[in-house]
Amino acid sequence: MLRVVVTGAESVGKSTISEMLAKYFQGTNIPEYARTYVEEHGYTYQYDDVVAIAKYQVEEDLEIEQLSDSIVFYDSWLIITKVWLFEMYKQMPDFVDAHIADHKADLYLLLTPDLPWVEDPVRENGGEMRWKLHQKYKEELEHYQCNYVEVSEVGEDRFLRAKSEVEKLLRINTD
């Protein structure tokens, strides 16, 4: 099984790209759980809520790792949760770091925040904060020595670039 994480700051097209890739490659799309959690529990959240999101992400990830002969696309992943814990609360449970280090995906597509901001009740970080968070995600991917590619194209070219990177991954894993 191959795991591809589509990640990046808010309003960069993660959900769209993840869904399109899953459809194109006939894989599984794993929606962003943090969005679902906040929509179900209210838009005000605390540290314990973000930890609950992280725990769910780890459990879900461990279940998905048991799948075979498939490709899975994640709309976001635990690195975003880690950065958010530090940005908001200046702390993080040890299990987050351990899971990221021990369960890296095969490819991370880091989408750049060069698309127009789209207002949404769950989104909080427009403007320059998107670039700040983008840089933090990039630093985390490098810290964990993840296989990642920045995707900065716009429109249909954004999907085509992401698709091309997944195709490269597939070729590497079939040779």
List, for residues 10-47, the tens digit of each pLDDT value. 899 999 999 999 999 999 999 999 888 988 887 788 99
Residue 68, pLDDT above cutoff 80: no
Phi, psi of 30, rounded to the nearest 5 degrees? -105, 110
User: What are 123-140's pLDDT values in tens digits?
Assistant: 667 778 899 999 999 999
For residue 175, pLDDT beyond 70? no
Work out the pLDDT band at 58, boundaries 50, 70, 90. Answer: very high
Q: Which domains, and CATH codes, for the chain?
A: 2-174 (3.40.50.300)
What pLDDT, on the 0 to 100 scale, is given for residue 174? Answer: 80
- What pTM did the predictor assign? 0.93
Return the closest-CA partner of residue 157 out of 145, 165, 168: 165
Nearest CA-CA partner of 131 in 121, 119, 139: 139
Dihedrals φ, ψ of 119, to 5°? Answer: -65, 140
Q: Mind spelling out the 3-state secondary structure of 41-87?
A: HCCCCCHHHHHHHHHHHHHHHHHHCCCCCCEEEEECCHHHHHHHHHH
